[in-house]
Amino acid sequence: MSDTTGIEWTNSTWNPTSGCERVSPGCDNCYALRFAERFRGVRGHYFENGFDVQLRPNMLAKPRGWKIPRLIFVDSMSDLLHRDIPDWYIDKVFDVMEDVNHHIYQLLTKRPERLRRYIAKRYATRAVPDNIWIGTSVEDNSSAWRADMLRSLNSAVRFLSIEPMLGPVDRVSLTNIDWVIVGGESGPVRRAMELAWVRDIRDRCTRSNIPFFFKQWHKAGTGRMLDDETWDQMPAIPFAQSEIDLQRLS
């Protein structure tokens, strides 16, 4: 698989696993599922088994080959905290992130309850390394509990991906949140995102000095402008990764 990506808030994707399953309304039109299932049954294809959860040990060493520091989105085609992915394999992924530490890894999950248990065990006596950013997806107020799970983690950067934004998030607390990404749903059956929802979370981030990144409206010519501005704010990059070219994200 190619590591290039059109995702605006990262440089590259790294998929040490693939496959997942729907857990909430935000998953209903999952682009990764739609892409992978196109190739189910195609003998020899990388996604011959469609979107079934699979370990991809052949991908574990990939970050070692990237010599220039990058922002790396971990598992854009999966969820590392899926119940079918064993702890021993998650250990291997975290081992790579800790060892190949000139990159920043952006780990995003819809299963923060398992992430919290894993982090508590692995980092019982130390903080999560600064180059591992931990995030969870929040679609609307009904998934506010995910942010509650995230905020207690001992991590330098805890971020929310509010994408697809399916409703207001005014009951989602931003306490101990270090970055917020917002985006509308893309694809042929995309659901509407209201301007008032986006403005509300943007304004709350601004008041709390939380970096705010507006990813998109709905693609297809709708652009990335919010109130005549492009919002590409990011958390501070640790010194060791200061060579990362954030201009490539805009």
Residue 248 confidence (pLDDT) above 70:
no
Residue 187 confidence (pLDDT): 78
Q: Is the dihedral of CA 96, 102, 107, 113 positive or negative?
A: positive
Q: Which of the residue ranges 10-14, 186-190, 243-247 would you say has the lowest mean pLDDT? A: 243-247
Residue-level length of the chain: 250
For residue 110, what are its two tokens? 């819809």
What pLDDT was estimated at residue 246? 61
**pLDDT (tens digit per residue) in 101-129:** 999 999 999 999 999 999 999 999 999 99
Closest by CA position to 181, among listed 223, 226, 220, 213: 213
pLDDT in tens, 185-201: 987 888 999 999 999 99
Average pLDDT over residues 218-229: 82
* Exposed/middle/buried for residue 126 (C-beta within 10 Å: 0-12, 13-18, 19+): exposed
Confidence of residue 244 (pLDDT cuts 50, 70, 90): confident
Average pLDDT over residues 6-22: 94
pTM (predicted TM-score): 0.94
What one-character DSSP code corresponds to residue 182?
Answer: E
For the chain, the first-to-last Cα distance in angstroms comes to 24
Using the predicted structure, report yes or no on whether residue 57 has a pLDDT greater than 90: yes
CATH hierarchy code of domain 67-245:
3.80.30
